[in-house]
Amino acid sequence: MPSPTACAVSASSIPAELEPFWAAAQRAQPALDRARFYEAFAFGDSERMADELAQLVLAGVKRATASLAWTYELEHKPRPKAGDLSIVTSGAGQPLCVIETTAVDEVAFEDVSAEFAHTEGEGDGSLEFWQRAHSEFFARECARIRRDPSARMPVLCERFRVVYQPGATSG
């Protein structure tokens, strides 16, 4: 669950405070192209959630995230696409890793698959857990953007891989 507000920045604009992290990532992975930078963000809508979800990413458990398509439309923000690079931060804004988006599909909330829920890696990995947790998260997001949640609300199902993590060995 990308954060609707926390630490998001405009596409291709690496925040100055994250430049040293990006430079280290490029030294370790020279193929990381600044032109593909999409955003720096923390998952979720609270510091605690951001930290928990980021730890799942760092552990290799969380390899996907879901967000409301309506949010991108309202904020006139380009949607993520395959090849985009993003810096994942902690809830406090500490950079943790760089991810590359590998695929993005738009589906209705009720059509999110059990396989995607498992890939997102939250809770017990079940579709039931995913639906319950994301119903609550998207209800808060819908309230923020003044939309009514529904089973047909458009969800962006984004898959990613970690391409840089300080201290991790390449493989």
3-state secondary structure the chain: CECCCCCCCCCCCCCHHHHHHHHHHHHHCCCCCHHHEEEEECECCCHHHHHHHHHHHHCCCCCEEEEEHHHHHHCCCCCCCCCCEEEEECCCCCEEEEEEEEEEEEEEHHHCCHHHHHHHCCCCCCHHHHHHHHHHHHHHHHHHHCCCCCCCCEEEEEEEEEEECCCCCCC
pLDDT tens, position by position, for the chain (171 residues)?
654 434 443 446 899 999 999 999 999 999 999 999 999 999 999 999 999 999 999 999 999 999 999 999 999 999 999 999 999 999 999 999 999 999 999 999 999 999 999 999 999 999 999 999 999 999 999 999 999 999 999 999 999 999 999 987 654
pLDDT at 167: 85
pLDDT at 9: 39
pLDDT at 10: 41
pLDDT at 170: 53
pLDDT at 13: 87
pLDDT at 8: 43
pLDDT at 12: 60
Domains located in the chain, CATH noted: 16-162 (3.10.400.10)
Q: pLDDT digit string (tens) for 27-65?
A: 999 999 999 999 999 999 999 999 999 999 999 999 999
